Chains A and B, each alone.
Chain A
Amino acid sequence: MKDLVEFIAKSLVDHPEEVRVDEVRRGEATVVELRVAPDDLGRVIGRQGRTARAMRNLIAAAERGGSRTILDILD
């Protein structure tokens, strides 16, 4: 799931080299933490969180069995 988030984030932003993705276990779930350059934050979140929501939708659909994945966008 980390790869998927990294792939999407890198295709969205202006500074793909500053995309950082970490995977952390939190109880039953896997948290994917996404960090991008400050001026790219809006790109991965989108107006009213549209883009972030779309990413979460895609992640949920790509889950195969395994644990649930939560996307955290950090600044």
Chain B
Amino acid sequence: MALRRFEGKNVEEALDHAAEALGVERYKLGHNVVVEKRGFLGGTRRVVIEAWEDDIGNRADAPPTHIPPALAPPARDARARRPRGGRDRGGRDDRRSRGGRRENSDRDRAPRPASPQDMVFETGPTPPLPENEPALAKEFRVWLEDLFDRCGFLLDARVEDGDEKISARIYGRDAGKLMAHHGELMDSLQIIANKTLIVRSSGKTVELDCGEFREKRIGDLERQAKETAAAVREDGREKALPPMSPVERRIVHLALRDDADVETYSRGEGFYKRVVIAPKQAGSSDASPES
């Protein structure tokens, strides 16, 4: 398999481009950084990576130094059972023993470099369950925790049943897995959760959150939008941000709504829809400074 090269402002963005071009999920990609150019203010301005689809049966293709984060087994100590603290687990223990948390022989392999998946994301302790957990909240929480168990994730959920929204907060030591790659897995979970019969029949929508994930992501997107807008202003050429979900695109549009020099629009379809930041058309010929 030939290694193709991809470029981006940072490794994350280059990986996004690689995932799009190769048509595979991002965390199935292995990569090596080829070029890393520094900007004059110290930040990285351009990164070139080599990326390939990582396939366990095909490891010979991958450079030997690389261990793909998504496929490598979790470090042994990270899997050590968290004390479950005598909370009510909603009668799930029978299920857990039936399905069984498959023991992974790979776990005993040599340690590997830290990867985003291993990030210990501090969510704080799981709060106790409320005395009178509403029926819908309980039903959804049990479903979510059952799903986590079946995925082998050490995670708990606490659910609030609001008027229009079911809000679930996720706690536990595998939270970093949900957060990796800008919360790719969180988004997937939320898509699935919103399509479940439990949620559909309630007529509400589910929002998942974990730590300060949503808040941080909004901040990150706004920062990315402003940085890209500054670059557009500088060289006068439009730039496209990586593909984003509708919610994320909206955050970008709003962040630049009042920008005098650039305008934003969406380009593409479906998963690959992205926001383009372009110099404002009006007045571009006479470049009038008056607003």
Give A contacts to B, CB under 8 Å.
3-4, 7-8, 11-14, 27-29, 43, 46, 48, 50-51, 53-58, 60-68
A65-B152 contact given A58-B185, A58-B192, A60-B25, CB 8 Å threshold: no
Q: Which of B105, B188, B195 contacts A57 (CB 8 A)?
A: B188
CB distance from B112 to the nearest CB of A (A): 12
Segment 70-118 of B: residues with Cβ below 8 Å from A: 70-71, 73-74, 99, 102, 104-107
CB distance from A11 to the nearest CB of B (A): 5
A48, B245: Cα distance in complex, Å: 13
| Smallest CB gap from A68: residue in B | B56
Q: Which of A7, A14, A51 contacts B147 (CB 8 A)?
A: A7
Could you show 14 A-B contacts with beta carbons less than 8 Å apart?
A4-B150, A11-B143, A27-B57, A46-B191, A48-B270, A54-B187, A54-B191, A61-B27, A61-B151, A65-B71, A65-B73, A65-B106, A67-B56, A68-B57
- Contact present for A63 and B150 (CB under 8 Å): no
**Residues on the B chain within 8 Å of A65, using CB:** 71, 73, 104-107
A53, B25: Cα distance in complex, Å: 9
- Contact present for A48 and B188 (CB under 8 Å): no
| Smallest CB gap from A44: residue in B | B195
Q: Which of A7, A13, A43, A53 contacts B150 (CB 8 A)?
A: A7
**Residues on the A chain within 8 Å of B73, using CB:** 64-65
**Residues on the B chain within 8 Å of A14, using CB:** 197
B154 within 8 A of A: no
* 13 other A-B residue contacts (CB within 8 Å) besides A3-B150, A4-B147, A55-B192: A11-B196, A12-B196, A28-B58, A43-B195, A54-B191, A58-B185, A58-B188, A60-B25, A61-B151, A62-B151, A62-B152, A62-B153, A68-B55
**Residues on the B chain within 8 Å of A29, using CB:** 57
B146 within 8 A of A: yes
- Contact present for A57 and B185 (CB under 8 Å): yes
A58-B189 contact given A7-B147, A11-B198, A64-B74, CB 8 Å threshold: yes
Q: Which of B28, B146, B153, B189 contacts A60 (CB 8 A)?
A: B28
**Residues on the A chain within 8 Å of B153, using CB:** 62
A54, B195: Cα distance in complex, Å: 11
A5, B125: Cα distance in complex, Å: 29
- Contact present for B271 and A54 (CB under 8 Å): no
**Residues on the B chain within 8 Å of A57, using CB:** 25, 184-185, 188
CB distance from A65 to the nearest CB of B (A): 3
A58, B191: Cα distance in complex, Å: 11
- Contact present for B185 and A28 (CB under 8 Å): no
Q: Which of A13, A55, A62, A67 contacts B57 (CB 8 A)?
A: A67
- Contact present for B106 and A64 (CB under 8 Å): yes
- Contact present for B56 and A4 (CB under 8 Å): no
- Contact present for B70 and A60 (CB under 8 Å): yes
Segment 137-151 of B: residues with Cβ below 8 Å from A: 143, 146-147, 150-151
**Residues on the A chain within 8 Å of B106, using CB:** 64-66
- Contact present for B99 and A51 (CB under 8 Å): no
For B105, B107, B192, B198, which residue has the most chain A Cβ atoms within 10 angstroms?
Answer: B192
- Contact present for B56 and A54 (CB under 8 Å): no
Q: Which of B107, B152, B271 contacts A53 (CB 8 A)?
A: B271
A4, B271: Cα distance in complex, Å: 25
**Residues on the A chain within 8 Å of B271, using CB:** 48, 50, 53
- Contact present for B150 and A46 (CB under 8 Å): no
